Amino acid sequence: MAIISKNYAYLLICLFFLSSCEKTVSFQLNNAETKKLVVDGQIETGKPPIVFLTNAIGVTNPLNLNTVLNSIVRGAIVEVRDATRTIQLIEQNNSYQVAPQDSNFVGVPGQIYKLKIQYLGKVYEASTKIPIVKSLDSMWAVKRVNTSGPDSNEVNIFARYTDPDTLGNFVRYFTKRNREPFFTGRNSVYNDEVINGNGIDVRIERGYDKINDTSTKAFSNFIIGDTVQVKWCAIEKAVYNFWNTLEFSTNSVGNPFSSPSAIISNISNGALGVWAGYGTSFKTIIVVK
């Protein structure tokens, strides 16, 4: 198992980097504020909760893997509660996970889960719901036109999605290519303000490792022969707001025409980050000629 989740390391690096860009976000971190808590917690359908905790990194600290590892929070008391039961997570693999005796505590669609963190005399709380997911209807690949050489095997993947007829649905999706882990792309969250109750064809952007994949060519498309799995997740509005504002801010860095935006956390007491419930569904396609 990795020392720390790549997706979480990316979240922490984003918050570090954006905190040094006054144009982009509304908060600034200095070395005196490095005790500000950063939370990345989630519970999804059929899986137990997992919570990563770190102290925020000051803008004058060097940004590398050792800095991230040294920022990991130890000794916090982390509890998750549903309608009938409260469990305490234990420290394991640089995160807080369920104890063996609580392994049957897993996410159930429609349920609300409350998170409580006690650390350095402060209490942080959040609540999330696992919505009932509306799965993708179908998925297919289309060979890219006007390509030659190595690019001649590239394809775009599309999916058909029919939105429920009730306004206020939010989704986040991840892709898994062959034996890679699940990753998100540059924009991973969407709402149904425009398409409410209708069907739409969406292009599935390939997710990528944002720590190591620095070339846009490395993650722009899929190729013939790939096995592609999409994890399509229903999320609630507060989770959508966090990822939407974080991704907008990240993608706008360096753009002089972008508007300043605040990253919206759903954690109380001034913590950064998110406690997220995911109602999950999966669809797989093998790309053939």
**Ordered alpha helix ranges (H), 157-236:** 216-219
Please give the single-letter amino acid code of residue 145: V
pLDDT digits (tens, 9 = 90+) for 247-284: 888 776 544 434 445 789 999 999 999 999 999 999 99
The overall longest dimension of the chain from CA atoms, in Å, is 61
Confidence at residue 208, expressed as pLDDT on a 0 to 100 scale: 87
Q: Each residue of 98-140: pLDDT tens digit?
A: 999 999 999 999 999 999 999 999 999 999 999 999 999 999 9
Helix (H) or strand (E) holding 70: helix 65-70
d(CA 64, CA 9): 10
DSSP 3-state of 72: strand
CATH 2.60.40 domain range(s) in the chain: 138-235+279-286
Side-chain half-sphere of 87: how many Cα atoms within 13 Å? 18
Choose which CATH entry (1.10.3210, 3.40.50, 1.20.120, 2.60.40) describes domain 138-235+279-286. 2.60.40
Distance CA 167, CA 162 (A): 13
Task: Give the pLDDT score at 32.
Answer: 40
Nearest in space to 38 (alpha carbons), one of 49, 26, 54: 54
Give the number of residues written for the chain.
Answer: 289
What's the average model confidence in pLDDT over 212-229?
76
CA distance 238 to 109: 17
CA-CA distance, 175 to 190, in Å (whole number)? Answer: 15
Q: Is the pLDDT of residue 67 over 60?
A: yes
Q: Where are the alpha helices (DSSP H) in the chain?
A: 6-19, 65-70, 216-219, 237-252
Tell me the mean pLDDT in the region 83-100.
Answer: 96
- Residue with the larger pLDDT of the pair 179 and 151: 179
3-state secondary structure of 5: coil
Q: What is the pLDDT of residue 254?
A: 45
pLDDT number for residue 134: 96
Say how far apart CA 21 and CA 17 lie, in whole Å: 7
